[in-house]
Amino acid sequence: MKEYLNHKIFKIISEIVDNDNLQTYVIGGYVRDSLMDRPSKDIDIVVIGSGINLARKVAKKIGTQSRLVVFRNFGTAMLNYDDIEIEFVGARKESYRRNSRKPIVEDGTLEDDQNRRDFTINALAIGLHQDLYGKLVDPFNGIEDLKNRKIRTPLDPNTTFSDDPLRMMRAIRFATQLGFTIESGTFDAICKNRYRISIISRERIMDELHKIILSQVPSIGFSLLEKSGLLEIVFPELYALKGAEDQNGVRHKDNFYHTIKVLDNISKKSDNLWLRWAALLHDIAKPDTKRFEPETGWTFHGHEYLGSKKIPEIFRKYKLPLNEKMKYVQKLVLLHLRPIGLSQDDVTDAAIRRLVFEAGDDLGDLMLLCEADITSKNRLTVQKHMHNFRIVRKKIKELEEKDSIRNFQPPISGNIIMEVFGIPPSEQVGIIKNTIKDAILDGIIRNDYDEAYRFMLKKGKEMGLKPRN
């Protein structure tokens, strides 16, 4: 295992701990990722003794005392060195109370420290002191679980998940990120202990959910969340999409599985977290709008509009940012059906202009979402829709070259309207300004100051207003 200790920080730590006669190990994610040939920017060091004292000596040795951050209440210290984050902690054992995931901590041995780890693949340790330098310490056969691509807890999984229920989300997250399966007994314990997740804060749950969303194939995680029963608890709005109803022999698709397929599709094209959130929420209002009409079958009329209205309450509930990121998701949910209707020959330039204007700089992301939304298993259906989207893209390009409209501002401002007609801020000003904007978008006038000015005078006259001059 010495080949995994090729970073110079390990030699520095080894020299210090040998001089102080300390048993010290690199443990957890760095060891796991090294064995899997995955890059890692985090190193966890566990010492039988004081992690803070060791961190201070290492910081002094490499001359980075100013970058040392000490968390005295937790007995840990953090050091950034050579673009790597190194955490030092003393070996410890933990016990838990039923109503909290915060453990009672005592000094312990390496065995105690490995016992408290969440999964066998995260309990692997490599010695850094002279007697065990470069030797793997693997009491739970985690190396075999790595080879077999299994997620398994070191101790009884019911105890592991009951003590710290966030580990259930972490199990699913690791399975998603690494492409592993969760060992059957471990997964059964997740199902059994799923209601314990209620003691975990929404912020911590969202942190794990974001890591699942940002995975290469996020549907793996969402399928596991659904099968384990966790999804219904942590994200009931998404769970409500589940199910395919049959009426009079007419069946609609399961919108949950459609949604996570859309998420997978978008993940092949973009690692933008909020575009992936838009994919996850694009059909969120379908359960509220589902209707069966004998003539047309199942309909979800207005789900894009209602879905966009639901975004702020969802973001607020799950402690997501209530800023431009929320507005971005809201916009894409609202507009996600618009491009599909713009591929017909009789679609007007005005319709294209309005889409370009309303989507603005997010038009490219909107088109990616619309293309990801095609999840049919019928190859010809997919080809037809993709062909239509190419037509829409072509029409957008042609119109933008002819008529610069994306994010445009009407050439006549509210101040000009008030000055010309000698009126104060009022509803009349807004009406004239919006009428000018609509006239430009509808192609009635060009996006030109002189044309807009003449149009303003005409509209003002219709409203009984007279210019001051």
Does 149-234 match 2-147 at the fold level? no
Q: What is the total residue count of the chain?
A: 469
> What residue ranges do the domains of the chain occupy?
2-147, 149-234, 414-462
Q: How far apart are CA 176 and CA 211, in angstroms?
A: 9
Mean pLDDT of 348-356: 83
Mean pLDDT of 98-114: 74
pLDDT of residue 348: 78
pTM value is: 0.87
The CA-based angle 169-207-362, given to 5 degrees, is 125
pLDDT of residue 339: 87
Q: How far apart are CA 171 and CA 181, in angstroms?
A: 9
Q: How far apart are CA 402 and CA 389, in angstroms?
A: 20
pLDDT of residue 294: 78
Give the pLDDT band of residue 4 (cuts 50, 70, 90).
confident
- One-letter amino acid at 412 equals I
For the segment 263-276, what is each residue's pLDDT rounded down to a tens digit? 999 999 999 999 99
Please state which of the ranges 65-69, 80-84, 87-91, 337-341 shows the lowest mean pLDDT: 65-69
For the segment 120-166, what is each residue's pLDDT rounded down to a tens digit? 999 999 999 999 999 999 999 999 999 999 999 999 999 999 989 99
Instruction: Check whether 104 has a pLDDT greater than 70.
Output: no
Cα dihedral 253, 254, 257, 258 in deg (nearest 10): 40
| Residue of 236, 229, 227, 219 lying closest to 196 (CA atoms) | 229
Contacts from 231-239 at CB under 8 Å and sequence distance 24+?
233/194, 233/195, 233/197, 233/198, 234/169, 234/197, 234/205, 234/209, 235/209, 235/318, 237/284, 237/310, 237/314, 238/280, 238/284
Residues 6+ apart with CB under 8 A from 344: none
pLDDT of residue 208: 97
pLDDT of residue 441: 85
Beta bridge partners of 424: none
- One-letter amino acid at 362 equals D
Give the pLDDT band of residue 406 (cuts 50, 70, 90).
low
pLDDT of residue 397: 83
The HSE-up count of residue 381 (CA atoms within 13 Å, CB side) is 6
DSSP H helical ranges for 199-293: 202-213, 219-228, 230-234, 236-239, 255-267, 273-281, 286-289
Q: Answer for the pair 276, 218: CB distance below 8 angstroms, yes or no.
A: yes
Strand 84-90: give its sheet, edge to edge.
68-71, 76-81, 84-90, 42-47, 24-27, 125-127, 136-137
Instruction: Check whether 307 has a pLDDT greater than 70.
Output: yes
DSSP string, 392-442: HHHHHHHHHHHS--TT---SS-HHHHHHHHT--SSHHHHHHHHHHHHHHHT
Q: Answer for the pair 370, 418: CB distance below 8 angstroms, yes or no.
A: no
pLDDT of residue 191: 98
Cα distances (angstroms) measured from residue 265 to each of 135, 386, 468: 43, 13, 58
CATH ID of 2-147, from 3.40.1190.20, 3.40.50.2000, 3.40.50.10490, 3.30.460.10: 3.30.460.10
DSSP letter at 291 equals: E
Give the pLDDT band of residue 244 (cuts 50, 70, 90).
confident
DSSP string, 1-24: -GGG--SHHHHHHHHHHHHHT--E
Instruction: Check whether 239 has a pLDDT greater than 70.
Output: yes
CATH 1.10.110.30 fits 149-234, yes or no: yes
